[in-house]
């Protein structure tokens, strides 16, 4: 009797142990699936599907769903297909609020269902249909918070609805589960469409999804919407030709003069082996390719003769891919190199119909994975060094800026002293060049120089004169400018400033709106009262220069062109010029010879009546005779 009871207890214990070791299809709230535990897998009730971490590379994993009974792992759904996690420290956790979160070792959230809700009895279940569902209990009813059927990856399962908003995105290759370029979706008109969405070209081709059946653990194609797969743009990549035969299947080849860019991936297309630097008319020819049409960007085409095209025809477009078929009537000419013996190489693959790809793509596309930084101290040291360096650069730039502004301020103060000393402001050459628009507004020109109109920085309009002769030194020029600046009379033109830089000598005068007396006499704009007023004002200005000024100044070129009129037609004598000027009490003249006076005639440089000594009267008479009409 005791032996019988012991046998019953032993069988019950073994059966309960086997049940406890059997994988579950449910994950309770607060539970975790770890990437480091191979047994942390959810298995549906009838063991049709499994859910867990699936390896996609060197220590990189995705959380997905796959068939449990297939010969190889056939993944039908992926949560983080474009952002795999590291093989250490990553985990999937179902929180009490119903939110399912995938985190890495640094607790960074890489994927989430965003299904947070105040609920009770939250759990995650994997159904036999392949649907991963988060449910909760509300008022005695089971409510679905989230399900994987609403977010398909690259596979539609039986009983899985395909609605308006989800998009089915292909994998990059059979061994690379990241997002590819082909999509199945409902467009804006609610029409089901297949779309090629590549990095350079996007196009829609006629669409129905492939129907797949399960047979002995392998996928087989029983029907396809397009009888000729070469109609799909981009299969063979740029500068290539696609060929399809019912028996051999689809094949890809490069155009003549092109070579395969990546031997393991036809989607990269072909690249030209034509060396543009060595092209000459004797080393280049055109290869004829019949029964081929190319897909490219939509550019306008031009018709021309073959003889003309051989001299001016070269590839200007990106040829996405071509199609070869005996039914096509198009002819293509491709520019290629000529071999050493003068023979044009031919690409025999273009003319054959039995080309076939291997059917197995071993190319892994480049993907960026987030790596864990194990050395925290090194990372902290790098950031600390960058921070200190940034602060040093900031203070260096601030110091340079402070020194520049301080120098600029001191320069402005020194310029103020110059203005206070001689009554004129010193301008820079670039400042006057900008004020005149690079000296483009010329008013007049004479023997002494060219006068341009300009607007100063304080918005005053000025007349800027560029002196022709700039042989004086800067100190001598400044001394004479200082003397001119102290000459002040209502009937003399006022000088506002000057410029003395290297060989440039410029004077800045006030601008007279009504021009010169000569301009107004020609158009007979002045009445007799105004003419009398102008004559009296001119006489007052000359009297001031001859008798009342600290220095006696002889103009020697008083003419209507040098008498300017302001807004009220008040006369102002202009065009004094520059000369050596001595004090009124000095007895040594700066023009000791008659030749110097003759050289100064025209717009004469200044001299004093007292310095003309014994022959100044003859000069005075000559000047009066020149002024008479």
- 300 vs 443, more confident: 443
Least confident of 57-71, 102-116, 210-224: 210-224
Report CA-CA distances (Å) from 358 to 33, 269, 546: 39, 16, 108
Strands (E), 187-231: 192-197, 202-205, 212-215, 218-221
List of residues 6+ apart from 493 with CB closer than 8 A: 509, 510, 512, 564, 572, 573, 574
Q: What is the pLDDT of residue 591?
A: 40
Query: Which phi and psi (to 5°) does residue 415 adopt?
Result: -65, -35
Dist. CA 543–CA 545, nearest whole Å: 5
Burial 208-233 (b: 16+ CB within 10 A, else e): eeeeeeeeeeeeeeeeeeeeeebebb
Of 525, 526, 522, nearest in space to 534 by CA: 526
Q: What is the pLDDT of residue 578?
A: 52
Dist. CA 180–CA 196, nearest whole Å: 9
Helices (H), 423-527: 429-435, 474-486, 517-522
Tell me: pLDDT of 309 over 90: no
Of 576, 574, 554, nearest in space to 564 by CA: 574
Q: What is the pLDDT of residue 207?
A: 54
What would the pLDDT profile of 246-278 be if each residue is shown by its tens digit?
A: 666 778 888 887 888 888 888 788 888 766 555
- 201 vs 155, more confident: 155
Angle, helices 474-486 vs 376-422, to 10°: value is: 60
Tell me: pLDDT of 292 over 70: yes
Q: Please, is 417 exposed, middle or buried when counting C-beta atoms within 10 Å of its C-beta (0-12, 13-18, 19+)?
A: exposed
Of 186, 131, 133, nearest in space to 160 by CA: 131
Percentage with pLDDT > 70 across the chain: 65
Strand partners, 335: 286
What would the pLDDT profile of 146-164 be if each residue is shown by its tens digit?
A: 999 999 999 999 988 988 8
| pTM check: above 0.75 | no
Using 50, 70 and 90 to split pLDDT, how confident is the model at 299? Answer: very low
Rg (CA), the chain: 48
How crowded is residue 583: how many other Cβ atoms within 10 Å of its Cβ? 9
Dist. CA 243–CA 255, nearest whole Å: 12
Tell me: pLDDT of 416 over 70: no
What would the pLDDT profile of 3-58 be if each residue is shown by its tens digit?
A: 555 555 555 544 444 444 567 888 988 889 999 888 889 999 998 999 999 888 88
Dist. CA 560–CA 340, nearest whole Å: 85
What would the pLDDT profile of 331-388 be if each residue is shown by its tens digit?
A: 666 656 555 444 444 443 333 333 333 444 444 445 454 555 556 777 888 888 999 9
Query: Which phi and psi (to 5°) does residue 369 adopt?
Result: -110, 145
What would the pLDDT profile of 53-99 be if each residue is shown by its tens digit?
A: 988 888 889 999 999 887 777 899 999 888 999 888 899 999 888 88
């Amino acid at each position: 009797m005791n032996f019988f009871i012991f046998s019953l207890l032993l069988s019950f214990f073994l059966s309960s142990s086997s049940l406890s070791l059997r994988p579950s299809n449910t994950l309770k709230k607060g539970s975790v699936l770890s990437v480091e535990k191979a047994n942390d897998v959810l298995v549906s009730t009838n063991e049709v599907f499994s859910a867990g971490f699936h390896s996609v590379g060197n220590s990189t994993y995705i959380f997905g769903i796959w068939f449990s009974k297939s010969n190889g792992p056939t993944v039908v759904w992926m949560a983080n297909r474009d952002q795999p996690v590291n093989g250490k420290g990553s985990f999937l956790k179902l929180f009490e609020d119903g939110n399912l979160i995938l985190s890495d070792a640094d607790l960074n959230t890489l994927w989430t269902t965003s299904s947070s809700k105040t609920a009770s009895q939250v759990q995650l279940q994997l159904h036999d249909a392949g649907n991963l569902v988060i449910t909760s209990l509300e008022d005695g009813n089971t409510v679905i918070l989230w399900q994987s059927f609403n977010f398909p990856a690259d596979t539609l399962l039986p009983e899985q609805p395909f609605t308006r908003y989800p998009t089915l995105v292909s994998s990059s290759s059979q061994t690379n589960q990241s997002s590819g370029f082909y999509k199945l979706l409902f467009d804006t008109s609610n029409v089901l469409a297949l779309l090629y969405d590549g990095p350079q070209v996007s196009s829609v081709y006629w669409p129905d999804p492939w129907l797949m059946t399960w047979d002995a653990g392998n996928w087989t194609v029983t029907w396809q919407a397009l009888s000729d797969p070469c109609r799909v743009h981009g299969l063979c990549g740029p500068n290539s030709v696609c060929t399809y035969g019912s028996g051999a299947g689809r094949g890809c080849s490069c155009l003549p003069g092109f070579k395969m860019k990546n031997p393991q991936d036809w989607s990269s297309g072909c690249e030209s082996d034509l060396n543009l630097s060595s092209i000459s008319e004797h080393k280049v020819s055109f290869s004829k390719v019949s029964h081929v049409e190319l897909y490219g960007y939509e550019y306008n085409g031009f018709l021309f003769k073959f003889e003309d095209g051989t001299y001016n025809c070269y590839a200007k477009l990106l040829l996405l891919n071509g199609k070869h078929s005996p039914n096509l009537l198009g002819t293509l000419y491709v520019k290629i190199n000529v071999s050493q013996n003068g023979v044009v190489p031919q690409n025999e693959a273009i003319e054959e119909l039995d080309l076939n790809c291997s059917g197995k793509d071993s190319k892994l596309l480049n993907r960026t994975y987030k790596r864990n930084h194990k050395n925290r101290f090194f990372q902290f040291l790098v950031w600390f060094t960058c921070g200190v360096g940034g602060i040093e650069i900031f203070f260096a730039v601030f110091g340079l800026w402070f020194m520049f502004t301080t120098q600029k301020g001191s320069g402005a103060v020194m310029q103020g002293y110059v203005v206070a000393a001689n009554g004129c402001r010193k301008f820079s050459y670039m400042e006057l060049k900008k004020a005149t628009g690079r000296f483009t507004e010329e008013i007049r020109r004479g023997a002494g120089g060219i006068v341009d109109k300009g607007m100063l920085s304080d918005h005053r309009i000025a007349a800027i004169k560029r002196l022709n002769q700039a042989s004086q030194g800067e100190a001598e020029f400044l001394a004479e400018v200082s003397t001119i600046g102290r000459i002040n009379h209502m009937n003399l033109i006022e000088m506002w400033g000057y410029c003395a830089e290297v060989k440039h000598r410029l004077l800045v005068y006030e601008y007279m709106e009504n021009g010169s007396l000569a301009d107004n006499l020609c158009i007979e704009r002045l009445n007799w009262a105004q003419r009398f007023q102008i004559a009296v004002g001119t006489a007052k200005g000359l009297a001031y220069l001859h008798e009342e000024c600290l220095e006696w100044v002889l103009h020697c070129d008083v003419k209507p062109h040098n008498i300017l009129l302001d807004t009220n037609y008040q006369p102002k004598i202009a065009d004094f010029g520059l000369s050596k000027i001595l004090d009124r009490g000095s007895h040594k003249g700066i023009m000791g010879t008659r030749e110097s006076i003759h050289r100064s005639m025209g717009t004469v440089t200044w001299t004093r009546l007292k310095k003309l000594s014994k022959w100044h009267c003859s000069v005075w008479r000559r000047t009066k005779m020149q002024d008479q009409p």
